[in-house]
Structure 1
Amino acid sequence: MDQKDERWFDKYHPYLVMVLIALFAGGIGGMLGYHGAMHEKVSQERLCAINLTSSDGAIVVGIFEDVKRSMVHIESSRTNISGIKHPFPINGTGSGFVIEFNGSRYILTNEHVITEADDLRVTLFDGTRVEAELLGSDPMTDIAVIRAELPDYIPPLTLGDSDRILPGQLAIAIGNPYALDNTITLGIISGLDRTITTESGYTVHGVIQTDAAINPGNSGGPLLNARGEVIGINSAIMPFAEGIGFAIPINTAKNVSSEIIKHGKVIRPWIGITGVDLTPELAKMAGVDLDGGVLIVDVFEGGPADEAGLRGSGSHLGEENFEPGDIIIGFDGKQIRTMDELINAILQHEVGDEVEIVYIRDGTRMKADVRLMERPGGI
């Protein structure tokens, strides 16, 4: 190094050190930035729900443009003959959307949209009307599958994973409320694992709560996330409560719809009883010291419980000479405190499984082996 070079080095040495430090720090920062970007990518949907800007609005517009071709307007009619001398048709309306299963396209909707329908018609996004037929329905989950001849230009929607959603994430509801085709409303996931009662009287667990407006006619339409994936089926609103809507999780719909498409119905195990939660009042009437259980009200003749020797109540609840039936307190090694717990325990099994039921009869603890049968239709 000559004298000139030494003078240059002495002059710029401090700056070279700073540059090297900056490059080193930048490398570390780059690595941290990479991990931060990955975290940001994972959190993007949640941030979108919290920080709705004009660009987020563009995202929603884009999603709507992508999915609107897969939306359908469902019209149903049934004949009302109860107590009427001259029967007349009752028309219903709702929403649905196209899905794909094993290379074929179907329409997914709510069971209560098509219940008891004699005739089904589907209107596509471009106004085309086609006849449709009910492939099968499941009142226990309020899900139905419709089959129709769909043009090739109608794509299926992408189904997401409802087990991965979180409160606060963006929620987009699309449907046909009050016959206003392709109406879109925006909100967030307000809560998870809610419980609702369907119009058929069944209890559905694990339901999604959203504040995206769901109105009559929205039923059967999709609830979407910020990627345009279906995370639920818009199903119900809470009467007289603003901003509280419910959707059946899409993971539930996947399982149920695949059963319907393959078998025309959902095959579920069944023990053949009707029962009620054992309340303190019922426990007192039955003369038992229990803080939970299922009191058997009726046993279906020829059903699994009947064949295993279980008994229902000998008289109606509340009657002075009330004779309590057996009280189920255990199922397949699990403690049973409510009817919901019993149903959930049964649904963990398959038709043909043999399970042990623990019950109380006349104050005595007893056991019975029960072989589960297929749940009959209409029960």
Structure 2
Amino acid sequence: MFDFDPLLVDDERRDGEIPGISRETTIDDTRLFDAYSQAVVDVVDLVGPSVVRVETAADPAAKRRGGTGSGVVISPDGLVLTNSHVVQGASSVRLALADARTVNARVMGNDPHTDLALLRIVDDVSLPAARLGDSKGLKRGQLVVAIGNPLGFESTVTAGVVSALGRSLRAQTGRLIDDVIQTDAALNPGNSGGPLVSSRGEVIGINTAVIAGAQGICFAVASNTASHVVSEIVRHGRVPRAFIGVSGQTVVLPRRLAVALGLAQARGVALDAVEAGGPAAHAGLQTGNIVIALDGQPVTGADDLVRLLSGARIGIETVLTVIAGAALRRVTVMPVERTRERET
């Protein structure tokens, strides 16, 4: 019988004489904590000066209450991203800067379908700008930092992780916003419109919603969606879109299936809803189909599908390449113009 002496084992472990047991048996928690803290501090130092408080005035005639939210400067000449529900249909707003100055801004474009709005500062100022990152490269568990003005407490910082990707969130118009980021970085009323920032100091989302009564379930519109909305508003003053009647989320293609079908891409968009009577349904698309291309252009995420279904495709036959079961299909869809009542 083997005599087990815990004191002897402890002594041998310290001497490094037990095979398979490392001499480093503990983690330097202080060092790890300092690294985490420094990452958050660096992000705040870099992006914090670009975060503003957005103030809207009450308009009794329009039955609009005044309110406050957050925004982030994305270009030195004064373009500011915020939420559509923050501006509440106003044509002009007032911004409080991180350095305590206040400036005026006009609403360049408002896209309630994605709950995003683009502002232009009209005063002659030059501001530090944050950089929009690529939200497609995000991974669950990744560190993120939220900066904003929750409940009027200016320049508040919270940190957390990316809890989930590819969520869908219903906008106030009734349309589903696809490719939404879920995070546990604490958000409260007033955070809306502020940036969700990666550890690299890039804005990878615009904070938009929380689930009332829940803890740590918060949402941000992905930066790739925001980039598309910004470019369309700058070009057209609005976001014209084609409608095919689907909603979906980004998925990773099973490697075996991708190899069997000769696909180079690793992701596509799985359809989780196809509207009855819509263009996609008429074309024969079904839930579970995975869209991988639109008119030969790769679709590797929900943001690609949103971007490619631009207003230029309204009334023009469009070919979607989809995976149905274990086979490739090419389906011709006739997009129509999306109205306020339509979702996708």
TM range (shorter): 0.5 to 0.7
Percent of residue pairs identical: 39
Query: Aligned to 1:295, which of 276, 287, 290?
Result: 276
Alpha-carbon separation, structure 2, partners of 1:212 and 1:91 = 26
Per the TM alignment, residue 203 of structure 1 is displaced from its structure 2 partner at its CA by 0.9
Q: Deviations over 1:157-205 (max 9, x none)?
A: 0221111111111110000111111100011111111111123322111
Q: 1:104 deviation in Å?
A: 4.1
Compute the displacement of 1:61 (Å).
Answer: 1.6
Of the three residues 264, 281, 298, the one matched with 1:329 is 281
Distance change >3 Å, CA 264–CA 246, structure 1 → 2: same
Q: Shift in Å at residue 78 of structure 1?
A: 3.9
| Greater relative contact order (CA < 8 Å, ≥ 6 in sequence) | 2
Q: How does 1:1-379 map to 2 (within 5 A)?
A: 53-81=33-61, 90-100=65-75, 104-117=77-90, 119-149=92-122, 152-270=125-243, 294-296=275-277, 329-331=281-283, 334-337=284-287, 348-349=308-309, 350-354=313-317, 372-375=335-338
Question: Compared with structure 1, are the counterparts of its residues 168 and 52 closer, same or farther at alpha carbon in structure 2 (3 Å cutoff)?
Answer: farther
Q: Deviations along 1:133-158, whole A, 9 cap, x unmatched? A: 10001111111100113555411102
The residue identity in structure 2 corresponding to 1:220 is G
Give CA-to-partner distance per residue, 1:301-352, whole Å, 9 cap, x none: xxxx8xxxxxxxxxxxxxxxxxxxxxx7342xx52349xx9xx899554224
> How far apart are residue 370 of structure 1 and its match?
7.6
CA distance in 2, matches of 1:111, 1:266: 13
Cα RMSD after superposing both structures: 3.4
Pick closer, same or farther for the CA change 1:88–1:351 going to 2, 3 Å. Answer: closer
The whole-number CA distance in structure 1 between the counterparts of 2:175 and 2:103 is 31
Give the match's secondary structure for 2:130.
coil
Larger helix percent: 1
Higher CA-based Rg: 1
Q: 1:183 to 1:168 in 2, by over 3 A?
A: same
TM-score w.r.t. the length of structure 1 is: 0.61
Give the Cα–Cα distance (whole angstroms) in 2 for the partners of residues 160 and 108 of structure 1: 14
One-letter code aligned to 1:142: D
Corresponding residue SS for 1:97: strand
Q: 1:56 to 1:194 in 2, by over 3 A?
A: same
CA contact (8 A) 2:161 2:184 kept: yes
Looking at structure 2, the residues matched to 75 and 140 of structure 1 have their Cα atoms a distance apart, in angstroms, of 21
Output the CA distance in 1 between the equivalents of 2:146 and 2:123.
Answer: 23
Unaligned runs of 5+ in 1: 1-50, 82-86, 275-291, 300-304, 306-327, 357-368
In 1, Cα distance between the equivalents of 2:167 and 2:212?
16
Deviations 1:240-263 (A, max 9, x none): 110110111101100111101111
What's the TM-score once normalised by structure 2's chain length? Answer: 0.67
Q: How many residues end up aligned between the 2 structures?
A: 262
Instruction: Give the Cα separation in 1 of the matches to 2:130 and 2:211.
Output: 27
In the superposition, relative to structure 1, how do residues 167 and 58 fare at CA in structure 2: closer, same or farther (>3 Å)?
same
- In 1, distance between residues paired with 2:334 and 2:285? 19
SS at match of 2:49: helix
Alpha-carbon distance in 2 for matches of 1:61, 1:375: 43
Residues 130 and 244 of structure 1, relative CA distance in 2, 3 Å threshold? same
Query: Can you give the 5+ residue segments of structure 2 that lack an aligned partner in the other structure?
Result: 1-30, 247-272, 292-301, 320-331
Q: Structure 1 residues 240, 377: closer, same or farther in 2, change over 3 A?
A: closer
